[in-house]
Chains A and B, each alone.
Chain A
């Protein structure tokens, strides 16, 4: 019953008027930014990080919770109405949702995705509240070598196991790891890869990297292929509300999507793509209306949307309990924590329970606010989508550079931002995944310091990595996950489910 007490305490923190206001602002801003085409939840969090600079940690993390869910919801609105999924997790939604919008059923599509997200988010947050303390109990026994092994698992699953090409995923990861080396080595004070530039001694800022890769890279990419023609914005016609038939067809996909999303998100397996596509193919198989799939079946929106949201809450499990980000969005959340000198992990549960449980409780509240706010305000969000593309992207770039200008207005930092923009553009063009770069930058230095600590404790004996049963098991899993895609290449891989 500890969980209930802790959660009740967290609720007490979250319902303070100021915190409710922060959650509301977060949900509103998150949706407004997330709804812009090409901007996924990770970038939404990155762009809005500077806004929270001046707040206290509690308030800003609560705002984050709102931004996170708001950004997710905004992304699915975009996917349904203009068929530009901001991230691969919204691809399944775009598949059916956009067809529904074209057929004049945009309202029910938005409604089923909003209500489905709410159901999934609520169930998954309950899952988070119960799973987290249990995992924390387990995680306090982790030594540095176990943490290092755990990060190896995350590295492999985030970059190699589930992407298109393990080689390109690993390449992205190693670019991130390289960027993580830049700056002063924390243990010996020696500068690495700084090349005598004083601004580089502090290392690469996560927000600079994320904003450059996601915002600038996306803008450059969209600009480079503008001549292929724009996607059209579908107006929301007809009723906003779901019919009885829609409800009947939606509630089971919601629950099934949640069942796919939460466990896969909670594993350090990286990303929401897999559960959303699993959910999509399951609904396609189970539906009583197979003829509608591909032409706008409501199950194909309800299931993947629920899976997407549930896995988003699921990724908070490794993030909060182990300090392990397994998606780009979680990596940005971690950057938000680090901005206040907080390190998520078992210790944070012991030292700042008010903060952790306040955040978890805020997730519930943000979820409810989304439902109340978004269905009535859908007209406003649609109007945001109607901004002409030149102004939209010009505004996005101004907003994106503004964060860096406000934090560090130096020529070096801005040049790095522009450089990461070019990198993001090239990676998109040549089909390298972006998220592993961000995860590599954040986790690389942590993994290195854990490994060095482990080796210092064992007096330099590398066998310590295999002597701890936890670490040996995790390293084995990492190795298996690394080799599996190469071995299974001939067999039908997950990608085959896409059509």
Chain B
């Protein structure tokens, strides 16, 4: 781990760590809130609401522990991260979900993911990648649909096959 990341200095508040602690505390609150809506029907022992509360307590303690680590700057050093490729892949996943949700079919959906991921890893030949992706996902679709008889979502392209 060598980088000029500010997290390297000891005794410096790690803001990301504070956010993590806050998220854990929030999750614990959601658990407790949700458990309050459950009715205990168990005659003896524990009902369905007991375990969420126990886990929420654990999460609360861990939020405190994480907060202490963050305030002391005890978190391991992090290398710098490039957000662009991450966003590109997430866009690809969003496209995949949207295409499947609107009935665009398996081939178009996975092709979209393939092209955006490939671009995220530095490829700039979108046309070539699109052709590769379409051919590959068509082959996968045929293999699954015909050979393994697993049903994959169909869209306009699949109906042509």
A interface residues (Cβ-Cβ under 8 A, vs B)? 50-51, 53-54, 164-165, 167-168, 170-171, 174-175, 177-178, 181, 185, 187-188, 190, 192-193, 195, 216, 219-220, 223-228, 388-391, 393-395, 397-398, 401-402, 405-406, 409, 411, 414-415, 417-418, 421-422, 425, 429-431, 448, 451-452, 454-456, 458-460
Contact = CB atoms under 8 A, between A and B. Distances in A.
Q: Most A CB atoms within 10 A — which of B51, B83, B136?
A: B51
Nearest to A456: B45
B11 interface: no
B12 interface: no
B157 interface: no
A411 B82 CA distance: 28
Contacts of B59: 174, 178
B132 interface: yes
A415 B97 contact: yes
Nearest to B62: A171
Given A171-B24, A190-B48, A394-B133, A430 B149 contact: no
Contact of B82 (A193, A224, A459): A224
A390 B51 contact: no
By secondary structure, the A interface counts as helix
Interface of B: 16-17, 20, 24, 27, 30-31, 34-35, 38-39, 41-42, 44-48, 51-52, 55, 58-59, 62, 65-66, 69, 75-76, 78-83, 85-86, 88-90, 92-94, 96-97, 100-101, 106, 109-110, 113-115, 117-123, 129, 132-133, 136-137, 140, 144, 148-153
Contact of B47 (A188, A195, A216): A188
Contact of A192 (B52, B109, B140): B52
Contacts of B83: 224
A51 B143 CA distance: 12
B96 A223 contact: no
B81 A225 contact: yes
A10 to B, nearest CB: 28
Contacts of B90: 220, 418, 422
B57 to A, nearest CB: 10
B146 to A, nearest CB: 13
Contacts of B46: 451-452, 455, 460
A454 B42 CA distance: 13
Contacts of A414: 93, 96-97, 100
A405 B75 contact: no
A61 B24 CA distance: 38
Given A167-B69, A390-B122, A391-B118, 19 more contacts: A50-B150, A54-B148, A177-B58, A181-B55, A185-B48, A187-B48, A220-B90, A223-B85, A388-B123, A390-B117, A390-B121, A390-B123, A391-B129, A397-B92, A406-B151, A430-B17, A448-B51, A451-B46, A458-B45
A431 B82 contact: no
Contacts of A395: 114, 136
A224 B85 contact: yes
B128 to A, nearest CB: 11
A181 B31 contact: yes
